[in-house]
Copies of this chain bind each other. A is one copy, B any other.
Amino acid sequence: MSSQEAVKVVVGLGDRAYDILIGSGLVARAGAEIAARLPGIRAAIITDENVAAAHLAALSESLEKAGIASTAITLPAGEKTKSFAALQQVVDGVLAARLERGDAVIALGGGVIGDLAGFAAGIVRRGMNFIQMPTSLLAQVDSSVGGKTGINSAHGKNLVGVFHQPRLVLADTDVLDTLPRREFRAGYAEVAKYGLIDRPDFFAWLERNWQEIFAGGPARAEAIAQSCRAKADVVARDEFETGDRALLNLGHTFGHALEAATGYDGTRLVHGEGVAIGMALAHRFSARMNLASPDDAARVEAHLRAVGLPWRMPDIPGQLPDAERLLAYIAQDKKVSRGKLTFILTRGIGQSFIAKDVPASEVLAFLRENHPE
């Protein structure tokens, strides 16, 4: 793909519709793309130490060339940065730079930076312009699209935040070259998720083409664009997650519980890995509940194993809390409505649905059967 050909996906949200551009060379073109949409603005770039080392200079230069003055706020990398303390640091930094409502906060990083910077942009002066420049595969296919922002609390992940849509998403596929392989693989779990939710043909295509996606050929940009389209569709249907949007949580109820159970220790389990195991468990649990064929669960497990993702609880290094404790983590998760457990279950590949009133006793029995000990 030449540096001039970006794929464009539009997120259809009426007067707040925005473009996602996906392609090569977009960091270098960021200044021009932003200036064309938001003339005369100034900006604050929010990033983390890893991403800053690899890409911050190029972005600052691109902005400067387009006449956009910017300051950068660089935070430690990792999930712990989605905290009240970091939020206050970003908010104070943006205010110290004297940015106004019409200026922009730019998130240059993975989902952690996107969620944090988006939240800050949503609350400084009750809402500033926000631009996503996702640098992890997970952020390019998932977290940068849809306007969900937030931080974690001692009571659980992502429990505090706002809906604040970006004005533009620039997903430069080249920056993924500096992303650690393990993180790329974790992001791939979210790509597979879109197939498993409601696109069986996409899942079958992934089964055939995953090696090319990992290698970085044209299939990579195609997979990212398809994922963005899938997410944009759901978001346009249900911006504020009062219905269908919950489907995007496929694999996430189990996944979040496992992330919590491992103390959000990224050396043991990163988000996308938790989602991979969670999706496999959701399919296996659906089979156990006689909702889907065990063959479909086996097919999901086989694909995750093939790409090198963890797919079952014993794949997590170190000890896990027992099944009762895992259930308690699930019940603490925010997708609990009035004490009943809500899960995304499936009738087969690409046939996921929202199941309310899932009996906790069944989940507990299932966790016991699948627990490493």
A residues whose Cβ falls under 8 Å from a Cβ of B = 40, 84, 88, 91-92, 95-96, 100, 102, 119, 122-127, 148, 150, 153-156, 159-163, 240-241, 334, 336-338
Contact = CB atoms under 8 A, between A and B. Distances in A.
B155 A123 contact: no
B100 A160 contact: no
B163 A95 contact: no
Nearest to A153: B95
Contact of A160 (B123, B240, B338): B123
A111 to B, nearest CB: 16
B155 A96 contact: yes
A317 B150 CA distance: 43
A126 B92 contact: no
Contact of A155 (B95, B126, B127, B156): B95
A98 to B, nearest CB: 8
A92 B125 contact: no
Given A122-B162, A123-B162, A126-B148, A153 B92 contact: yes
A237 to B, nearest CB: 17
Given A102-B338, A126-B162, A162-B162, 16 more contacts: A91-B160, A92-B155, A95-B160, A96-B155, A119-B123, A122-B162, A123-B123, A123-B162, A124-B160, A125-B160, A126-B148, A126-B161, A126-B163, A126-B240, A126-B241, A127-B240
